[in-house]
Amino acid sequence: MTVDELPAHRAGEPIFCSWSGGKDSAWALHQAARAGASPRLLLSMMVEGGERSRSHGVSREVLAAQAAALGIPIRFGAASWTGYEEEFHRLLVTEAVAAGTTVGIFGDIDLQEHRAWVERVCGEAGVRACLPLWQRDRRAVVDELLGAGLEAVIVAVRDGVLPTNLLGRTLDPELVAEIERHGADAAGESGEYHSLVVNGPLFQRRLEVEPGERTLRDGVWFLDLAVAG
C-alpha cells in the first residue's frame, strides 16, 4: 500500500500511527499528513513493565514529551513478546477505533513478514493498515527525511554491528555514510540502529533531551534519554 492509496484524500481523514518515536514512523506520519490525513493518535508498545519502548528503549516520559511537542495524543500498551499481539489488538480496539480512526500508519519499508502481521492484526480489529514508505529505496527514504528537516538522534545500535560512539549523535548525511561504511543499512531496517526524532515539519516545538547511561540489553546498546530541564 502506498500513501496514494490512503483514503485521506478526503481532507481530514482521521488516522492513528503505530509510533516508535523514530525516524521511519515519523516520516510515514508526515507523508500521510501531507496527503491530507489528520493525525489523531499515536500508539506505542512498551516492554512488559511499561518503563521503556520495546524496540527503541525510549522511556515513557520521553515519548509522552515527544507527543506533546507534536501536539498529538499518545496511548501506551505494555506486554512481553508472547503477549504482544493480544495487547496491540487491545490498543487498536480500545484506543484507535474508539477515537474514530479507521486507518493506521506504519513506517515499515520492505519487511514483508512484518507487513503481513500488521495487515492481519489491523484487519482483525477492523482498521486498515497503510504503509507510506513501502518498497521505497532505503537510502532514498533517509535522504528525503533529512532533507525535509527531520532531526533524529541515535538511541540504539546493535552490538558488533555499529560502534557505541554513534549513540547520541544526530543523524546527518555524514553519519549515514559512516553507518554504511560499517556495512550496515542506511535506514537500519534490520535493526542495526534506532533513532528518536526530536524535531521536524510536524513538530510544534523541538523536543529537548539529555543523554544518560548506556546499557547493553539482548545484544543492543541503548542510550537512556531524559527530558531536559
pTM value > 0.75 = yes
Distance CA 67, CA 64 (A): 5
Place of cell 506533546: 68
Given a cut of 90, whether residue 185 has pLDDT beyond it is: yes
Which pLDDT band holds residue 11 (cuts at 50, 70, 90)? low
Q: Judge whether residue 1 has pLDDT over 60.
A: no
Supply the CATH classification number for the domain 139-227: 3.90.1490.10
Percent of the chain with pLDDT over 70: 95
pLDDT for 10: 59
Tell me if the domain spanning 3-130 has CATH number 3.40.50.620.
Answer: yes
Helix (H, G, I), strand (E, B) or coil at 132: coil
Q: Where are the domains of the chain?
A: 3-130, 139-227
3-130 and 139-227 in the same fold: no
Backbone region of residue 135 per phi and psi (left: phi > 0; alpha: psi in -120 to 50; beta: other values): left
Cell 528525503 sits on residue: 144
The answer to whether residue 39 scores a pLDDT higher than 80 is: yes
pLDDT band per the 50, 70, 90 thresholds, residue 164: very high
pLDDT per residue as tens digits for the range 95-107: 999 999 989 999 9
